[in-house]
Structure 1
């Protein structure tokens, strides 16, 4: 039985277009693979704490040497890592905020990019440990950043690099672009994203 991890990184709640398309994609993927399970991590409703000194100290200590606060910080991280390790498919969604991803999704990245758990350092450099997984990125933006303004896009390239770093190389993206250019442009962007979600699910 396959498992899908949906990580909602939008801060807009029910108004989020990236969440809307991500949920559609997950639904389409479930139809393609009946019986697949979904773990839904809504970072807006339940944000992970930003990593701090307890986390940074704890990852360098043996469990027995950690303080209660350090142990708690690692437990939060371990839970997020365990979800990621258990998933066959990962769907990450975010609004485009100041040319990058939301801070709540960045915090999730900081918790799951863990030496010894999702990647290892070797004498030949870091090696990702999450090979064989499929990832989808769903990113919504008011402007259009896939063309001439691509140099200002630090969201999709960043997520791709992070996923590559931990071993995930099979990545597809859905962009919902230009939604701030008026109702007609928004409707067109949403329709294109919905069609892309259906296309990707069929090809899964």
Structure 2
């Protein structure tokens, strides 16, 4: 199994999402021996936000006539989308910032959202091209929002965008209320650990089923 581990929080050792993605990846490796992991730290190495040089995704013959800056940006986009498509499981650390995701994570999504690679348009509407993988979103929130909050443009956005890519197996490990005092934080992390164990167990069972098949 190929696993892509993505962190986006800039809080380093103080980040709850980073600790929980680490635990998630460790549990998945324990239940699926032989798992290979690629790590992407968007707080350290985020792509630039889309601009006139990076908005178009063109390589090979289509890249003729581009400036050197545009060619470099195309290479970055190609590396990121290829890495995403190659992964069987993607673990994404996504803290809630101002009701949405960190801009570093949004910049990564904008690079992998490529027509012809992760989705295509047809006469019947858009079709996702990244089916068959599992995305586990580690969602951390300072406050408490629940499942249906109108203020949630974090989990709802990620579910929408990965679904647009064709991913149907999208799971959430949520720790909310982590800024509401030590007791809330401890409960949130405890609940997240339960979810991590459940997802790891499901991954192990799916791996055994695949071997039997």
Structure 2 length as normaliser, TM-score? 0.91
Structure 1: 5+ residue stretches without partners: none
Task: Show the counterpart of 2:125.
Answer: 125
1:28 aligned onto 2:27:
yes
* 2:29 match: secondary structure: helix
- 2:83 matches 1:66: no
The answer for the alignment partner of 1:134 in structure 2 is: 134
Q: 2:57–2:114: 8 Å Cα contact kept in structure 1?
A: no
Match of 1:161 in 2: 160
Distance across 1 between alignment mates of 2:180 and 2:165: 36
Distance in 2 (CA, whole Å) between partners of 1:87 and 1:203 is 18
Alpha-carbon spacing, 1:151–1:43, altered in 2? closer, same or farther (3 Å): same
- Alignment deviations for residues 102-126 of structure 1 (CA, whole Å, 9 cap, x no partner): 0000000000000111111112111
Distance 1:27 1:58 in 2: 34
Q: CA RMSD in A?
A: 1.5
Query: For structure 1, which segment, 98-107 or 120-129, has the greater mean C-alpha deviation from structure 2 after superposition?
Result: 120-129
Matches of residues 17-166 of structure 1 in structure 2 within 5 Å?
A: 17-57=16-56, 59=58, 62-146=62-146, 150-166=149-165
**Mean CA deviation greater in 62-71 or 172-181:** 62-71
Please report how far the alpha carbon of residue 57 of structure 1 lies from its aligned counterpart in structure 2 after TM superposition: 4.2
Structure 1 window deviating more from structure 2 (51-60 vs 192-201): it is: 51-60
Q: TM-score, length-normalised on structure 1? A: 0.94
- Structure 1 contact 58–66 (Cα < 8 Å) conserved: no
The Cα of 1:147 is off from its aligned counterpart by 5.0
DSSP 3-state at the match of 2:150: helix
Gaps of 5+ in 2: 204-213
Alpha carbons of structure 1 residues 58 and 33: separation in structure 2 relative to 1, 3 Å:
closer
